[in-house]
Amino acid sequence: MLSLFNYLSFSTLIFVVGLWGMALNKKNVITIIMAIEILLLGANLNFIIFSIFLDDFKGQVFSLLILTVAASESAIGLAILVLFYKKHQTIDFDYIYGLRG
């Protein structure tokens, strides 16, 4: 049986991969959204791990709520990107950032 440290190390690894994906990729908006989802997955895994080890299901319920919000946020973000692509024919992050000024 794996220990709590092993599970938390795996969760931290997933979280770091999400951070790494956001830090290294600053051009592709879809990859940034995927990296945010990986960050949330790492945090949710911590809630589930502690919920199992403490024998309380509140962390699992909280994790389910976070996953629901993350899925809706991702769907809305992708819908906005599709509309933006139809109008501007690009989803380049530098172009989107340049529209502000």
pTM of the predicted protein model:
0.80
User: Which pLDDT value is given to residue 93?
Assistant: 72
- Of 26, 29, 45, 34, nearest to 74 by C-alpha is 34
Classify domain 15-98 by CATH architecture.
Orthogonal Bundle (1.10)
Q: How do residues 27-71 score in pLDDT, each as one tens digit?
A: 788 888 889 999 999 999 999 999 999 999 999 999 999 999 989
User: Which pLDDT value is given to residue 17?
Assistant: 96
Q: CB within 8 A of 22, min separation 6: which ones? A: 32, 35, 36, 39
User: Which pLDDT value is given to residue 101?
Assistant: 61
Residue-wise DSSP of 24-70:
H--SBHHHHHHHHHHHHHHHHHHHHHHHHHTT-THHHHHHHHHHHHH
Cα→Cα distances 84→37, 78, 100, Å: 21, 10, 14
